[in-house]
Structure 1
């Protein structure tokens, strides 16, 4: 027993030595490089120092987080108050149908006299209209007082208001859309899918949104409030309201491939809608003042050329001779910064701001010229002003080109197989587009018209081949016509955006 215990102890000791040796070896200094004192660490490799994030205090001061119950209660209060003044609009369509056809939308009561604000497209084909106050179960027949296709705004008037001792109509409180801010909470109220007075919630996603072609009119004024509150068919004409219960917009459209809500809804600012409504009620039409200029967006190159410290305003490319702008001293090449004390940084903002004024009104203009700001004053006129006759004659609505050189000779040519008349770019257009062929006119029934090529655009490429002049565009299209091939055109629109048009061969039925 004693020998066995001795052998077992020797075996355990041997294993301990074998296992422990490597660990001890790792902890000992290298015998070949005896330590002579504290070791100096090697210098790190040089690296570039990159700042991540901005210095300084946070961009917004800390705020108290609102009580969710209080916020919910505020929405309930707003919904209760606004609900009474938002109505359901149903219209009967014109004759020619086997049975009565109806369409539905929404509206906003804006006067105790029975005037209702809605969209022009809601009542565009109406032969009869019925307005229902869902919260009060009241129903009225209505007539169309007037429409403004350029802003998609219309006004209805209710019949028999106040008859049979009816209670006074609930009237919406109208806010100031110029005070809206991106990120602000809003509610959309209307009757989507005929679901009367439905509320959805969201925020103001953007302001001054244009270039959507949501309004089908040559002189469309698109200066929309964008929201992610759900907007669906039937919401049109309804209210966009803030958390104070004030109407700040008239719900008009959504951007969607399906036609249903995808988080991109648009409303006409109430300040513009109010001016349009007042004119329709007073005159039965919109009487809008005209300045007699054409403008384009500003680019960085334009700002540098004008000697501006930053990019703002819109570039004046044409001033109608003898018109209000010319009489006020405005010149081509000026940068228009403000209209009536409000900044205008896009052509659609300029249109919308100008649309707030009537003929005969004076407006203050702030312009940049010669390296400095200047102040001008213009008196607006109406379309009957003789000085504007040629200008209106050159617009698409009057059958002419959208813009055109007034005193500058340019080359013109036609692509007869496709039904397009081109011209070279004028001097001011070359500043904007650099090169391309201006689409001056489209022949009715032609391949170009059937496939939607619009006048007033600039063709910059045909089948991926750059086009610099009208003649180059004609040659490229003639070659494709001889080969009986379609033509893919890349064009620049007046707002500067790029679009593509696929024209079928003109010889294909």
Structure 2
């Protein structure tokens, strides 16, 4: 380097320092200091060769480049075909609302006799309904045939179908929701914000979603299809459709703080909705078979304790003495693997599978017990079965203690001032909840009932003090009752979520 270039370089560095400009260098390690004594020779560093990523495409399928033009044409054809059978529903609200006040939703024509599938919440406050076919502007008055709040499904019937109609009603083609796969393309068809003939697209984001509390019912069956297709108010009751033009779900809810589409929409699987609709049309109500068990998710500890090779099924924590499950040989501690030949891997999935059967039907069960799977068969009951009387009495009726040979004996304690009866957790429940007091029953008209404490939850703390047993919960509440103080309870619900209940007073006027 010439003297002139060296001076220029030094000047440039000086200017950079004075002006605060960044000085950039390669990220190399600092040089090690020169040792005073030569180090002993060391073995050469071991070099390990690691492969990053798998070779080639996924083994399950060959992934090719999609033809976007073909996909576009297919979605257009599906939209045209399905849109004719998806209707706009406007309901006039009943007493307590301004005259003429209405709410709107969507529906799916499922029969040329005029039956329309929709959500129960769409018609929950309806005195009468107006149904419009957006494709040709036909209008019909409609009556509510029946509602099922546990699945949020309802059926309407159109008046005067066929009168002065030039053509029959367009009827939707119903698919098989059990055949859906995550990643599959779907369309959502409905009338968000009263905008008729609206079609949005997305994929199946997940299957078997539960624990969302989207259905406000104590016995809600949530086994939703999740999709990222845009779903907004007014889409409720509309169709979720696959690329074959088949309805695979009834759009029900979205997950959003403000109610607007946020990429998380949910639909009731059409297989479940079809069974509910058939029962509503035939009987005016849903006649659902019951097994008489309580179940919880299976975790790795449960699977390991049961000697299972993998984590699957649901853990049976309670069997109603004399009920269908008990008669079939199901025991607390069993892991229920299949219902009707179909696997169940979550409590909501178990409920959904069972909801496909009616009272009196025989159902094949597969349970894991003693290191092996066993086949059992149960004949389902209905709510009139005497053995299930307490089961269906609801959270405000005390449940009779279970004393059958298959029931684990546990201690019980009552907090009479609050109207609550507790029991200790059973062994399977302790695996799920660790500790706490199980709310076994609520006295009608009590402080606990008035403040909404639900039966079937586990109280884990009273006024931020942990409780591990039924007696500890009773003592904590008795102390607050003597002081005429309210009680803040921290509870865990069956879905594993934590909730708080503030019991305002131990005494009811």
Return closer, same or farther for 1:420/1:382 CA change in 2, 3 Å cut-off. closer
- For the pair 1:170 / 2:170, whether they are aligned, the reply is yes
- 2:268 matched to which residue of 1? 268
- 2:27 matched to which residue of 1? none
Kept in 2, the 8 Å contact 1:338–1:344? The answer is yes
- 1:228 matched to which residue of 2? 228
Question: Map of 1:281-292 to 2, 5 A cutoff?
Answer: 281-292=281-292
Kept in 2, the 8 Å contact 1:415–1:477? The answer is no
Greater CA drift, 96-105 or 158-167: 96-105
TM-score by length of 2: 0.84
Question: Map of 1:201-280 to 2, 5 A cutoff?
Answer: 201-280=201-280
- 2:343 matched to which residue of 1? 343
Kept in 1, the 8 Å contact 2:142–2:159? The answer is yes
Return closer, same or farther for 1:50/1:355 CA change in 2, 3 Å cut-off. farther
Rounded Cα–Cα distance in structure 2 between residues aligned with 1:378 and 1:129: 41
Q: Secondary structure at the match of 1:145?
A: strand
TM-score by length of 1: 0.84
- 1:413 matched to which residue of 2? 414
Listed one character per residue, the Cα deviations across residues 33-77 of structure 1 (whole Å, up to 9, x for unaligned) are xxxxxxxx9754457x59565655543544221122221121111
- For the pair 1:299 / 2:299, whether they are aligned, the reply is yes
Structure 1 residue 478: Cα displacement:
6.0
Kept in 2, the 8 Å contact 1:214–1:253? The answer is yes
- 1:123 matched to which residue of 2? 123
Kept in 2, the 8 Å contact 1:228–1:265? The answer is yes
Listed one character per residue, the Cα deviations across residues 356-392 of structure 1 (whole Å, up to 9, x for unaligned) are 1112222221121221112222222322233322433
Question: Map of 1:81-160 to 2, 5 A cutoff?
Answer: 81-160=81-160
- 2:499 matched to which residue of 1? 500
Structure 1 residue 491: Cα displacement:
2.2
More helix by share: 1
Return closer, same or farther for 1:445/1:326 CA change in 2, 3 Å cut-off. closer
Q: Secondary structure at the match of 2:258?
A: coil
Return closer, same or farther for 1:482/1:399 CA change in 2, 3 Å cut-off. closer
Q: Secondary structure at the match of 1:163?
A: coil
Q: Secondary structure at the match of 2:182?
A: coil
Rounded Cα–Cα distance in structure 1 between residues aligned with 2:55 and 2:479: 62
Q: Secondary structure at the match of 2:63?
A: coil
Q: Secondary structure at the match of 1:336?
A: strand
Greater CA drift, 336-345 or 363-372: 363-372
- 2:397 matched to which residue of 1? 399
Question: Map of 1:486-497 to 2, 5 A cutoff?
Answer: 489-495=489-495, 497=496
- 1:71 matched to which residue of 2? 71
RMSD between superposed Cα atoms in Å:
3.1
Rounded Cα–Cα distance in structure 1 between residues aligned with 2:479 and 2:55: 62
Kept in 2, the 8 Å contact 1:289–1:360? The answer is yes
Rounded Cα–Cα distance in structure 2 between residues aligned with 1:502 and 1:360: 39
Return closer, same or farther for 1:472/1:105 CA change in 2, 3 Å cut-off. same
Structure 1 residue 406: Cα displacement:
4.3
- 1:318 matched to which residue of 2? 318
- 2:58 matched to which residue of 1? 59
Structure 1 residue 263: Cα displacement:
1.5
Structure 1 residue 458: Cα displacement:
0.8
Count of matched residue pairs: 470
Q: Secondary structure at the match of 1:278?
A: helix
Return closer, same or farther for 1:454/1:52 CA change in 2, 3 Å cut-off. farther
Return closer, same or farther for 1:266/1:138 CA change in 2, 3 Å cut-off. same
Return closer, same or farther for 1:484/1:55 CA change in 2, 3 Å cut-off. farther
Return closer, same or farther for 1:381/1:301 CA change in 2, 3 Å cut-off. same
Greater CA drift, 170-179 or 308-317: 308-317
Kept in 2, the 8 Å contact 1:181–1:204? The answer is yes
Return closer, same or farther for 1:215/1:282 CA change in 2, 3 Å cut-off. same
Give the greater-gyration-radius structure (CA): 1
Return closer, same or farther for 1:54/1:332 CA change in 2, 3 Å cut-off. farther
Structure 1 residue 475: Cα displacement:
4.5
